[in-house]
Chain A
Amino acid sequence: DIQMTQSPSSLSASVGDRVTITCRASQSISRYLNWYQQKPGKAPKLLIYAASSLQNAAPTRFSGSGSETDFTLTISSLQPEDFATYYCQQSYSTPPYTFGQGTKLEIK
């Protein structure tokens, strides 16, 4: 199975900060990497697919990059509504379609 490891597990930042979250796959997954945002008590929402494609409704301050085994999610200028937990997920080839363990972004 492909393991997905995110870092950091938690992060404190301030409104206006630039934030980067990383996701590492245990083997190459090309660019089959998706990012989701989840707020407490809510279902996840897609932000980025194919490593760097912004979902239609997602704000442009979110961006993704990377390929093969190393990926990043960047928020260029944190807004109050961005404090949430972020998950990467691989959609490469055969299942299981694993998620990272999540990165909780908190207000400093």
Chain B
Amino acid sequence: QVQLVQSGAEVKKPGASVKVSCKVSGYTLTELSMHWVRQAPGKGLEWMGGFDPEDGEMIYAQKFQGRVTMTEDTSTDTAYMDLSSLRSEDTAVYYCTTRYYYGSGWYFDLWGRGTLVTVSS
């Protein structure tokens, strides 16, 4: 059974960086297309970026370009999302999720349980 296990909650000060991890079990990371979605308190879902297997590289939402870096350690089957220059508006639950392909389309299939990142002075 495939599971995505995320790291624990974080509290950061404005201007700091946070690195959230997502460990895959029951599969290898190279078989998956890992993405990150966040959700601010009481708000909707926001796609941040992830691995595009067609291009073989990470793609990021324009909103986060220059502040976010997504990496993967295939030796430990762990994906990471690093967000810098944190501000209060980055307070959110951050989810890792896998993109599953069917025919010509795809959807977000498996999800981690989420990691709450709180940005507060």
B46 touches A (CB below 8 Å): yes
Instruction: Mark interface residues in B22-65 (1 if CB within 8 Å of A CB, else 0).
Output: 00000000000000000000001111010000000001011100
Q: Are B102 and A99 neighbours in the complex by a CB distance under 8 Å?
A: no
Is B111 positioned at the interface, with any CB of A under 8 Å from its CB?
A: yes
B106 with A99: CB separation less than 8 A: no
| Cβ-neighbour of B105 out of A50, A87, A100 (below 8 A) | A50
What string of 1s and 0s marks CB contacts (under 8 Å) between A65-106 and chain B? 000000000000000000000010101000111111110000
Residues of B within 8 A of A32 (CB): 105
Q: How large is the interface on A (under 10, 10 to 19, 20 to 34, 35 or more residues)?
A: 20 to 34
Tell whether, in the assembled complex, residue A50 and residue B61 are in contact, meaning their CB atoms are under 8 Å apart: no
Which of B59, B105, B107 is A95 in contact with, Cβ under 8 Å?
B59
Given contacts A44-B45, A49-B102, A100-B44, contact A95 B61 (CB under 8 A): yes
Chain B: interface residue count, which band? 20 to 34
Taking A46-B109, A49-B105 as contacts, is the C-beta distance between A99 and B61 under 8 angstroms? no
Listed A/B pairs (25) with beta-carbon separation below 8 Å: A34-B107, A43-B95, A43-B111, A43-B112, A43-B113, A44-B45, A44-B108, A44-B111, A46-B107, A49-B102, A87-B44, A89-B45, A91-B105, A91-B107, A95-B47, A95-B49, A95-B59, A95-B61, A96-B63, A97-B47, A98-B47, A99-B44, A99-B47, A101-B44, A102-B45
**Besides A36-B108, A87-B45, A99-B45, 7 new A-B residue pairs in contact (Cβ under 8 A), listed by A number:** A43-B113, A89-B45, A95-B47, A96-B63, A99-B44, A99-B47, A102-B44
